[in-house]
Amino acid sequence: MHELELTLTATPTAPAAAREAVRTWFADRYDRETAETATLLVSELVTNAVVHGTGPGPSLTVDQVANGVIQIAVCDGSHHLPQRQIQVPGAAEQAGGRGLFPIAWGWEPLRSGKRVWFEIECTSPNRG
C-alpha cells in the first residue's frame, strides 16, 4: 500500500496538482526544506510525463522504502525511457529545466509505459 497515490490528467494543471499533494503530504511529516525539495522534483517528473508521455495521464505514488528514505514515482504510458543528462556549465539557464542531477533516481519499463522514480533522504522529521 502506498503512502500517497494520485492519478492525474495529462493537462498543464497536472504538475500543480502533484506539487500540492506532495507538499501537503510532506508538511505533516518532514521539515520544510525536505518538502520543498520533494515538491520541486515531483513537478519535474510530472511535467515530463505530461509533455513526453502518452495515455490518459500520469500516476504518482509516494512510498517509504527505508527508514528515512522516501521514494516518489510517476508512471506514464510512454515506452520512451529518460536519458541521463550530464550537467554542463550554463545548463541552468537553458529552457527545459535542470533535470534530476545529481540525486538518486531511475526508471523501469512497464507493460503499459514506464515508471520514473527518485529517492530523497528525510532526516529531519517534523516535530512541531
Whether this model's pTM surpasses 0.95: no
Instruction: State the Cα angle at 97 between 14 and 17, rounded to 5°.
Output: 15
59-74 burial, b at 16+ Cβ within 10 Å, e below that, comes to bbbbbeeeeeebbbbb
Query: What are 40-87's pLDDT values in tens digits?
Result: 999 999 999 999 888 888 999 999 988 888 999 999 999 988 776 655
Flag whether pLDDT at 128 surpasses 50: no
